[in-house]
Amino acid sequence: MNSSHPIRVTRLPHAEGLALPSYATAGAAGMDLLAAVAADLIIPPGGRALVPTGLTIALPPGFELQVRPRSGLALKNGITLPNSPGTIDEDYRGEVGVIVLNTGAEPFTVTRGMRIAQAVLAPVVRGHWVEVANLDNTDRGTGGFGSTGHR
C-alpha cells in the first residue's frame, strides 16, 4: 500500500530552473535532492561543505524528512553525509541544506542540478521518559558493543 502526503515547498531564487525533488522509480523510497549552487563547488579530500537545495518546506504534522547519502556517490566518489540520516523537523522553515563529506582520494565537484542526496519522508513516533527503580532482566543484560556475537 502506497500513500502520498503533501509536502508544501517554496523555491528560493537560487533554485529557479531546477526540478523539485522526485522519486526516480515507482518503487523508490527516497526523492532526489538537487544542488542549487550558483557555480561549481569543489570539496577537497577530507573536506566538507553545506550544499544548498534552494528549497524551504512545510512537512505534514507527525513527519520528518530524513536526508541520506546517495549510494552511487558513496561508492564511486566516497561522498557521504556525516550526520546521516539528517533530520528535517516538521517545524523547520529554513532552507534545506545537505552537509556533504568527501571521504574519497580526489577532489569532488558539486555542479548545479546534481543529485546530491536523497530525502525520505518518515513518520515520527514520540516517546516520554519514565523513571523507575530497576529495569527488567534480559539475556543480554549489560553486554555492550560486540557482545552479542560471543557466548
How does pLDDT run across 56-97, given as a tens digit for each residue?
999 999 999 999 999 999 999 999 999 999 999 999 999 999
Cα gap 128→131, rounded to integer Å: 10
> What was the pLDDT predicted at 142?
86
Please state which architecture CATH assigns to domain 8-125: Distorted Sandwich (2.70)
What confidence tens digit (pLDDT) does each residue in 15-37 have? 999 999 999 999 999 999 999 99
Give me the mean pLDDT over the 44-61 stretch.
98
Cell numbers 571521504: residue: 103
Under the banding of pLDDT at 50, 70 and 90, the label for residue 151 is low
Q: Give 73's DSSP letter.
A: H
CB atoms closer than 10 angstroms to residue 46: 11
